[in-house]
């Protein structure tokens, strides 16, 4: 789920997706290294929040995003576009799984043209599309809360 959400966010930045020629990938094995430039992201669960009543549905993920380019200055430019997309990101409206996204660290390896950023994302798993109720269906109308 989190990988699809991050992919959708990164590809929604059309200037970034165009500059990378659409080469945005989840973690890939070393033997399948794609052409440059490209972006690789890796998501890992850091913690799930549990209350006395069970799982709260809140999960914290660590997301590493690395941009590879032959020219390290262009790698930094692409990394700035990633930051524009990811840092401070929240889902719009009342329905959406991303509660917050914060840049935790950033590094550049000039020799390899790799710029890596690590983000902390808080996700509410109950606000993902599979949990959204359709109130037009009579059976779900009982869950409608009027404020």
- Number of structural domains (the chain) is 1
Give the 3-state secondary structure of residue 32.
Answer: helix
Q: Residue 64 has which token pair?
A: 């590493």
Higher pLDDT, 71 or 30: 71
The mean per-residue pLDDT over the stretch 13-31 comes to: 87
Give the 3-state secondary structure of residue 60.
Answer: strand
Element (H, E) at 7: helix 2-12
CATH number of the domain within which 103 lies: 3.30.2000
pLDDT in tens, 31-73: 677 789 999 999 998 777 776 776 667 888 899 999 999 998 9
**Range(s) of the domain holding residue 91:** 2-143
DSSP letter for each residue of 99-110: EEEEEEEEEEET
Contact 43, 9 (CB under 8 A): no
Measured in residues, the chain has a length of: 147
């Amino acid at each position: 789920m989190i990988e699809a959400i991050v992919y959708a966010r990164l590809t929604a930045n059309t200037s970034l997706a165009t500059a990378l020629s659409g080469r945005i990938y989840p973690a890939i094995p070393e033997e399948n290294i794609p052409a440059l430039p490209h972006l690789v992201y890796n998501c890992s669960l850091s913690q799930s929040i549990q209350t006395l009543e069970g799982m709260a549905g809140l999960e914290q993920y660590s997301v590493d995003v690395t941009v590879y380019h032959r020219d390290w200055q262009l790698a930094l430019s692409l990394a700035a576009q990633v930051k524009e997309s990811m840092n401070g990101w929240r889902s719009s409206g009342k329905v959406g799984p991303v509660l917050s996204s914060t840049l935790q660290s950033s590094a550049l390896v000039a020799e390899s043209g790799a710029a890596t950023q690590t983000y902390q994302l808080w996700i509410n798993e109950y606000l993902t599309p599979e949990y959204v109720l359709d109130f037009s269906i009579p059976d779900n109308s009982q869950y409608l809360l009027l404020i």
